[in-house]
A and B are shown apart, each in its own frame.
Chain A
Amino acid sequence: MKTSFLDFEQPIAELEAKIEQLRYVQDDSALDISEEINKLQQKNQNLTKDIYAKLNAWQISQVARHPQRPYTLDYIQGLFTDFEELHGDRAYSDDPAIVGGIARFEGQSVMVIGHQKGRDVKERQYRNFGMPRPEGYRKALRLYRLAEKFNLPIITLIDTPGAYPGIGAEERGQSEAIARNLYVMAELRTPIIGVIIGEGGSGGALALGVVDHLMMLQYSTYSVISPEGCASILWKSADKASEAAETLAITSTRLKTLGLVDRIVTEPMGGAHRDPEVMMQSLRRALADELQRLRVKTIPNLLQARLERLMSYGKYKEGSAR
């Protein structure tokens, strides 16, 4: 598949086009220009490295939303075996914006649940752009309970713009569905690891994000509101999204510094979509580490640590009462 480039990647795109051209020329030329091509490739690598070393928060959120970025089902296929997808909330419907099921990771039985976005126009619509409705969260809730029952560690893969703001979603209790998941995850008697693989969009992400260990892929984002949404409310203009992204602190490095994320999983140069194989390998190692670490904990210890972690969220000062 041809790589599609973001605005700020245009210099890379131009260089790649040039390399492509030279390759084409070389095919029917007696002249050996392979050295020239190698040079350009080296230059391209350095250029990508330079550009990616200086990404700002808004550019990172473009990478996090890249249309070719690996999605939940890609990671399930790449990292898990014996996956059986489980469907439906047993009450109303099956929501394709959340997928989940039982599987094995490195031979060990687990439950894996994640938001799912679509690749082409048709699938995007089918997956509702990864924006779940209440039945999606209730399916996830059912799978949390199943995992608890069979002592399966849970791995959640988070990638959503947010919960769907629709009429039906409100009628069926979008708020309650999210709230219930937060509540149940806080006391679920099995280890939970969360990985933000793309967009961590607000409450819609958090409903899969109350965990014992939270990882972020290097160029993913996690935010209380989208930069555009924040800009249109506080600056009264969506054009200020770049400034909003910066001040909202949505990148993996900022959030790690703030103590809200436990581990950053390095992405291949140019983002996960440029080399999904390498991405899978580094995520596999990180997951294996953390599963091992959590598995040796007793359930009471695990729950105590989770509660302490949840109750420690927030920054405030203790002054004298008014």
Chain B
Amino acid sequence: MSWLQKLLPPKINRPAGINRNKVVPEGLWSKCPACDAVLYRTDLEKNAEVCPKCSHHHRISARERLDLLLDAEGRSEIGAEVQPLDPLKFKDSKRYIDRLKASQAEVGETDSLIVMQGSIKGIPAVAAAFEFKFMGGSMGSVMGERFARAVQACIEQRMPFICISASGGARMQEGLFSLMQMAKTSAALTQLSQAGLPYISVLTDPTMGGVSASFAMLGDVIVAEPNALIGFAGPRVIEQTVRETLPEGFQRAEFLLEHGAIDMIIDRREMRDRLANMLSVMMRLPSAA
């Protein structure tokens, strides 16, 4: 009997199997997948969804990301009007159009990238964040176009750009259109660079495939969250190809830092302060402190 069961009054202390989930109010408790600690949801929320016991960074939604990063006032969304189509009439066991509708209903977003203009500790900026729950944060035409519009807004208003990635890579259901988003987003970044504006790429768990092999690895500064899985090929694909067991910590943020692929690892709870600091230095703004 776990300590939680012992704690519960006998009235609701029923044997396992009779739907214990219904007894405990949903979403009140959460179990850390890394250290198995049972956490009070509000504690987790107050701690930026980082486990207070082991500092494991839980996956969070795009809007939570943007809430953690941007000032509360003066935000406006960019590119929400851009919405997905099914150019190939793609169908596997399910039609792409049905997968889209299901994801939209379940997640409450129209596609995998959310872009918000606002400010970070008073510094005007545009931030984009991936919604991993939306088809694995996959990169399709909408993601690419919203990214391009984000960059365009930065250039027009001379603001820095931050992109927080969490993606499995390309969206197969859009075929080659998906692949071409790698070229499109990279091309957009050449324009931002020519305008002399900073681009900070934040890599979170997971950042793989076509996303990693394009804009995510093109940051002027590349930041990762602790222990985030980051790479081109997925670990299973590599294992099948080389028929070896992968080394401990392979493709984790710490591994990338050690190999010189990223600039730094930042704890989510310090992300806003550190990004604001870097932006203010790069934009040659007076120190906030």
A residues with CB within 8 A of B = 163-167, 169-176, 178-180, 182-183, 186-187, 202-203, 206, 209-210, 222-225, 230, 233-235, 240, 243-244, 247-250, 255, 258, 260, 307, 310-311, 313-322
B88, B246, B247, B251 interface centre (most CB from chain A within 10 Å): B88
CA distance A310 to B191 in the complex (A): 12
B232 to chain A minimum Cβ distance, whole angstroms, is 4
User: Which of B122-130, B141-149, B272-280 lies at the interface with chain A?
Assistant: B141-149
CA distance A163 to B177 in the complex (A): 19
Known pairs A170-B251, A175-B212, A260-B180; A311 contacts B188 (CB<8 A):
yes
Cβ-defined contact, A186 with B247, below 8 A = no
Q: Which residues of A contact B209 (CB under 8 A)?
A: 203
Q: Which residues of B contact A322 (CB under 8 A)?
A: 80, 110
Cβ-defined contact, A166 with B238, below 8 A = yes
Known pairs A203-B179, A247-B92; A187 contacts B190 (CB<8 A):
yes
Contact of B90 among A172, A223, A247 (CB under 8 A): A247
- Interchain Cβ contacts under 8 Å between A and B, 13 examples: A165-B237, A165-B238, A173-B260, A175-B230, A182-B187, A183-B218, A187-B194, A210-B183, A223-B176, A249-B175, A250-B175, A310-B187, A318-B81
Cβ-defined contact, B189 with A183, below 8 A = yes
CA distance A132 to B241 in the complex (A): 14
Cβ-defined contact, A317 with B83, below 8 A = yes
CA distance A224 to B170 in the complex (A): 7
Cβ-defined contact, B88 with A249, below 8 A = yes
B233 contacts the other chain (CB 8 A):
yes
Cβ-defined contact, A314 with B144, below 8 A = yes
CA distance A249 to B186 in the complex (A): 24
Cβ-defined contact, B92 with A314, below 8 A = no
B88, B184, B191, B251 interface centre (most CB from chain A within 10 Å): B184
A240 to chain B minimum Cβ distance, whole angstroms, is 8
Cβ-defined contact, B182 with A186, below 8 A = no
Q: Taking CB as reference atom, which chain A residue is nearest B139?
A: A224
Give the top 10 A-B pairs by smallest Cβ distance, nearest first. A165-B233, A314-B141, A313-B180, A321-B80, A182-B186, A315-B87, A186-B187, A310-B187, A234-B92, A174-B232
Q: Which residues of B contact A318 (CB under 8 A)?
A: 81-83
Q: Which residues of A contact B172 (CB under 8 A)?
A: 224-225, 230, 233-234, 248
A65 to chain B minimum Cβ distance, whole angstroms, is 17
CA distance A67 to B182 in the complex (A): 30
User: Would you list which residues of chain B between 100 and 154 have a CB under 8 Å from chain A?
Assistant: 110, 140-142, 144-145, 148
Contact residue range for chain B?
Answer: 35 or more
Contact of B218 among A180, A247, A320 (CB under 8 A): A180
Cβ-defined contact, B259 with A179, below 8 A = no
CA distance A164 to B237 in the complex (A): 10
CA distance A201 to B170 in the complex (A): 13
Cβ-defined contact, A202 with B179, below 8 A = yes
Known pairs A224-B172, A225-B172; A165 contacts B88 (CB<8 A):
no
Q: Taking CB as reference atom, which chain A residue is nearest B234?
A: A165
CA distance A320 to B178 in the complex (A): 23
> What does the 1/0 interface line of B223-262 toward A look like (CB < 8 Å)?
0000000111110011001101011001100000001110
Kindly list 7 other residue pairs between chains A and B, CB separation below 8 angstroms, not including A165-B238, A249-B176.
A165-B237, A173-B261, A179-B217, A224-B210, A249-B175, A311-B187, A316-B83
B160 to chain A minimum Cβ distance, whole angstroms, is 18
B214 contacts the other chain (CB 8 A):
yes
B217 to chain A minimum Cβ distance, whole angstroms, is 4
CA distance A319 to B82 in the complex (A): 6
Q: Which residues of B contact A260 (CB under 8 A)?
A: 176-177, 180
Contact of A175 among B180, B183, B187, B232 (CB under 8 A): B232
CA distance A171 to B80 in the complex (A): 37
Cβ-defined contact, B176 with A222, below 8 A = yes
Q: Which residues of A contact B176 (CB under 8 A)?
A: 222-224, 249-250, 255, 258, 260
Q: Which residues of A contact B261 (CB under 8 A)?
A: 173, 175-176
Cβ-defined contact, A167 with B246, below 8 A = yes
